[in-house]
A and B are shown apart, each in its own frame.
Chain A
Amino acid sequence: MGDLTSRTAAELASLVASGEASAVEVTQAHLDRIGAVDGAVHAFLHVDTDGALAAARAVDAKRASGERLGPLAGVPLGLKDVLTQVGVPTTCGSRILEGWRPPYDSTVVRKLREADVVILGKTNMDEFAMGSSTENSAYGVTRNPWDLDRIPGGSSGGSSAAVAAFEAPLAIGTDTGGSIRQPAAVTGIVGVKPTYGGVSRYGLVAFSSSLDQAGPFARNVLDAALLHAAIAGHDPYDSTSIDAPVPDVVGAAREADIRGLRVGVVRELNGDGYDAGVRQRFSEAVALLTSLGAEVGEASCPHFDYAMPAYYLIAPSEASSNLARFDAMRYGLRVGDDGTRSAEEVMALTRAAGFGAEVKRRIMIGTYALSSGYYDAYYGSAQKVRTLISRDFAAAFEDFDVLISPTTPTTAFRIGERVDDPLKMYLTDLDTIPSNLAGNASMSLPIGLSPDDGLPVGLQVMAPALADDRLYRVGAAAEAALRERWGHLLIEEAPAL
């Protein structure tokens, strides 16, 4: 069954449920694929071979005994290394957490277990999710399966690369400023940032608490919906979790009908600074949606221009506080504890040695922004901008059911190209940040290869909070039309590894 790794998650679940393939076979096929290609891609930081096979055996045993199986029973998945899983190393891509094995499961992991998903291992990421290229990982860069000299996006680059390289049909990422959508866009797959509060953050090691949101990666829209449905829902362990029914994302993905849907093209998220190839594919996508019966118009969100600076005050401010706990006292790295130094000195030495440059930069920015005397000018102003951005969205959503833009201004850049230019790196997330600030749902969907460089281009679809299902309606409709045009999914054009 050598082709098991090319199947969709929905197909694999049905093969396992019907007994045509065992969960162990499915899992082993993906472990073999990881063994074959991950040396080149480096999507995984930790492959939990024993744990994955044990979970697969449990699924097979469950089926054998006639127990009801979860909706994604036996389907393998890559888990971003920012979510806790009992006993499995969780590093967040940082030296400071090297060797830490959490004693508790994140709610996402608990729900994955309940869905009988098989977790293959932990995927690489920019340190503490700070970055757009996975180059900020302390454990080496992940490579884009489309071109191994290019970045797979970030911060969830390990997850996007694992799915794009067929090492797993599904992966979990987290998105604070675009860290699911941007990697999905540059690797030619589907990635969704659910409504803030839609998926529990319990066990998600916080970068920026008011922005972080876990979500699915998949090679097609229906698979993303299945994973979204499996991990979403109210969690009493997360106060910011929304106590409302999960939108019917799977139904919407199956429906795939956008006739009469009002689609707004965000004026501010296009134009100068966008690759010509990206703009071309985007305008073709607009035409495609029109041809599918959508009513397309132009939306204006004037305050989106201020989203980037607001984000780079709010996120580092929260991070400077969230990352304080890595102080060598209770877990993780400890440096300089030779019996002569004070606790404070050990804390300082550990943090100096354990955090990478980008993390330190953001801790310093955040510390400064929250300082007495500067708070109002920086953090306070940024929160006001955030409110204005939410109002822009609210006004636009009165006229439109969804908003669209390119997911990123450019395709995947080369490894090393922006690593010394933080501002240029930050611009990567220009299109995705507004949805984090406003907390609404947002998806990236592959819409073709750029004629400039032959690399994937993503379409971003944004929906109001708690209307995540609209993303899947649009995504599934566009995907079906494109598949009809191409005869296959975009990812199938990726070069063989």
Chain B
Amino acid sequence: MTATYDEALSMFEPVFGLETHVELGTNSKMFCGCATAFGAAPNTQVCPVCLGLPGSLPVVNAVAIESAIRIGLALHCSIAPWGRFARKNYFYPDMPKDFQISQYDEPICVDGYLDVEVGDEVVRVGIERVHMEEDTGKSLHVVGSTGRIHGATHSLVDYNRAGIPLIEIVTKPVPGTGRLAPEVARAYVTELRETVRALGVSDVRMEEGSLRCDVNLSLNPVGSAEWGTRSETKNVNSLRSVERAVRSEIERQAGVLAAGGRVVQETRHFHEDTGLTTSGRSKEQAEDYRYFPEPDLVPIAPSSEWIESLRATLPELPFDRRRRLRDEWGISALDMQAALNAGAVDSIEATIAAGAPARDAYKWWMGELARQANERGVEVSTLPITPGDVARLSVLVADGKLTDKLARQVLDGVLAGEGTPDDVVAARGLEVVSDDAALGAAVDAAIAENPDIAQKVRDGKVAAAGALVGAVMKATGGKADAARVRELVLKTLAG
């Protein structure tokens, strides 16, 4: 039933949209003063309000509103001058009030965009709306071992998360990306994450659930202007999964359509292990959420002065910053994207600021250090080495005090906790030997040990000198300045 990706794209055009939930990093919850720390013991960060006890009332956290507006501004949205919260009504044990306070037809931010880069291309993703809501609690279904709801003997609910402020960012449908759709989707979530992180309003850790994604996708026959029926895939909780979910839905829907079937409008679940989606509840028998304006809260009416003062707090946005850095560093869009994906942009920038040439800074972080990080399975920026260390290393090489090979050994020392590059050079005695007297003896010895090769060089086969240089390098434990050794070899044999 499932088509291959190439088959799918030969027949259909994908249109996708993303709904992203960002958990705000406010100190207190959306509607009460409870703490929001991740990982606290269950039900220790709760009060009558976030437990929805009878009689309790919500009060809006002003910092959350501020964060929502700043996100909206960073996404080039208009900020609504007046808006209300709404109740979304449905029964679920992890929802203390059996309704969620959200925003419905009066979102706080509307109609913006986010530019994302895929290769050399810039794709403008339209933003439909940005709205605020409260998170639910978390259910744990207990049955011996599986933790799944089916066959569970009982369930436990942790309400620590209930009431944590969430921002939902909804894109407009994104057509026309063709086979790049999965990459564009991933690039959008990456860019959004970077943008939110730059604003400092959330730590956007997907693994802790502070950024969660739903993927809407439909297919229409190539050349047709009419969009198809869409599915909504939930539970897409890593960047890689976003890409895989889009791809997997393209393949699945294409298979259904190609076989003469009909795509059902439904909620689907993405499975990290298989990379496939499975059917959830059908939207056609979906719940009616009976939205109505939340009567316990007064409307939000941000003044234009307040909005402008928040606009003034916006940092340089990651997209603009990358543009600027690319020019300053003289690298390609692809190289910049690699640095972004590796999480190395800040480190490279700091290394340049500490005195390294851009080319060297990039090379160190994206080369040797990226390899080391990869080996250890960590982000490169978390390695135990400072941008200052890397800059120093680069200066030592430029000054001829270290060879590349020696520099890598120094790096190992720094990573092993042996101190600064200078400490390691001193302790391990790694400085380049460029003292002609010391080198001269080694050169003479190499010539004496290799008379045949020496003769070839004397006869004009200059390329043969490499073997003699190698012998000197070996004899000096790699600490010799190879260029100088070569000069000395040629000079000695020419004499």
Binding site for B on A (CB under 8 A): 83-84, 90, 92, 97, 100, 102-104, 106, 201-206, 208-210, 236-240, 317-318, 320-321, 324-327, 329-331, 339, 343-344, 347, 367, 370-372, 375, 379
Expressed in whole angstroms, the minimum distance between the Cβ of B46 and any Cβ of chain A is 10
Q: Contact: A237 with B59, CB < 8 Å? A: yes
Using A318-B295, A321-B99, A371-B290 as known contacts, say yes or no to A106 and B89 having CB atoms under 8 A apart. no
Contacts of A339 in B (CB 8 A): 153
Contact A103 B157 (CB under 8 A): no
A101 to chain B, nearest CB (A): 11
Number of A-B contacts (CB under 8 A): 103
21 contacts between A and B (CB under 8 A): A92-B54, A102-B48, A203-B55, A206-B296, A208-B295, A210-B295, A238-B59, A239-B57, A239-B58, A239-B297, A318-B292, A318-B295, A320-B290, A321-B290, A324-B98, A325-B54, A330-B52, A343-B93, A347-B91, A370-B290, A372-B289
Is the beta-carbon distance between B48 and A90 smaller than 8 angstroms? no
Q: Are A325 and B52 in contact (CB under 8 A)?
A: yes
Instruction: List A contacts of B97 (CB < 8 A).
Output: 324-325
Q: Are A90 and B290 in contact (CB under 8 A)?
A: no
B488 within 8 A of partner (CB): no
- A327 and B60 form a contact (CB under 8 A): no
Q: Name the CB-closest residue of A to B98.
A: A324
Say yes or no for B464: interface residue by CB 8 A criterion: no
Contact B295 A202 (CB under 8 A): no
In the complex, chain A residues whose CB is within 8 Å of the CB of B99: 321, 324
Please, which residue of chain A has its CB at the minimum distance from the CB of B154? A339
Residues of B within 8 A of A201 (CB): 57
Interface size class of B (residues with CB under 8 A): 20 to 34
- The CA of A103 and the CA of B51, in the complex, are separated in Å by 12
Interface centre among B51, B291, B292 (most CB of A within 10 A): B292
Question: Are B89 and A204 in contact (CB-based, < 8 A)?
Answer: no
If the complex has contacts A103-B48, A104-B48, A324-B99, are A344 and B57 also in contact, measured as CB distance less than 8 A? no
A97 surroundings in chain B (CB, below 8 A): 54
Q: How far is the CA of A100 from the CA of B54 in the complex (A)?
A: 10
Q: Which label, helix, strand, loop or mixed, suits the secondary structure of the B interface? A: loop
Interface of A is mostly: loop
Q: A209-B296, A239-B298, A318-B295 are in contact. Are A329 and B157 (CB under 8 A)?
A: yes
Report if A205-B98 is in contact (Cβ < 8 Å); known contacts: A343-B93, A371-B290, A372-B290. Answer: no
- Beyond the given pairs A240-B295, A327-B91, A330-B53, 14 more chain A to chain B contacts, judged by CB atoms under 8 angstroms and listed by A's residue number, are A84-B54, A90-B54, A97-B54, A102-B54, A104-B48, A104-B53, A202-B56, A317-B292, A320-B89, A324-B99, A330-B96, A331-B54, A343-B93, A343-B155
Name which residue of chain A comes closest to B157, CB basis: A329
Q: Known contacts A239-B59, A239-B298: does B96 contact A324 (CB below 8 Å)?
A: no
Q: How far is the CA of A344 from the CA of B287 in the complex (A)?
A: 14
C-alpha gap A343/B98 in the complex (Å): 13
What are the interface flags for B97-125 relative to A under an 8 Å C-beta threshold, 1 for contact and 0 otherwise? 11100000000000000000000000000
**Complex interface residues of chain B between 258 and 312 (CB less than 8 A to chain A):** 288-292, 295-298
Q: Which residue of A lies closest to B296 (CB)?
A: A209
Q: Tell me if B56 and A321 are in contact (CB < 8 A).
A: no
B54 near A237: Cβ-Cβ < 8 Å: no
Closest to A383 in B: B293
Whether B89 lies near A370 (C-beta < 8 A) is: yes
User: What separation, in Å, do the CA atoms of A92 and B53 have in the docked complex?
Assistant: 13
| Chain B residue with Cβ nearest A235 | B57
Given contacts A321-B99, A327-B98, contact A237 B292 (CB under 8 A): no
**Residue contact A203 to B56, C-beta cutoff 8 Å:** yes
Q: Give Cα A49 to B93, complex, Å.
A: 37
Which A residue sits closest to B97, measured CB to CB? A325
Q: Is the CB of B298 within 8 A of A84?
A: no
User: A240-B298, A324-B98, A329-B157 are known contacts. Are A344 and B60 too (CB-CB below 8 A)?
Assistant: no
Q: Which residue of A lies closest to B153 (CB)?
A: A339
* Chain B residues in 8 Å Cβ range of A210: 295
Across-interface contacts of A331 in B (CB, < 8 A): 53-54
Candidates A106, A318, A344; contact of B55 at CB < 8 Å: A106
Instruction: Give the residues in chain B near A102, CB-CB below 8 Å.
Output: 48, 53-55
B31 and chain A: residue at smallest CB distance: A239
Complex partner residue of A325 from B96, B292, B295, CB under 8 angstroms: B96
Do residues B295 and A209 form an inter-chain contact, with CB atoms below 8 A? yes
Return chain A residues, CB-CB under 8 Å to B54.
84, 90, 92, 97, 100, 102, 205-206, 325-326, 331
Residues of B within 8 A of A84 (CB): 53-55
Q: Contacts of B60 on A, CB cut-off 8 Å?
A: 239
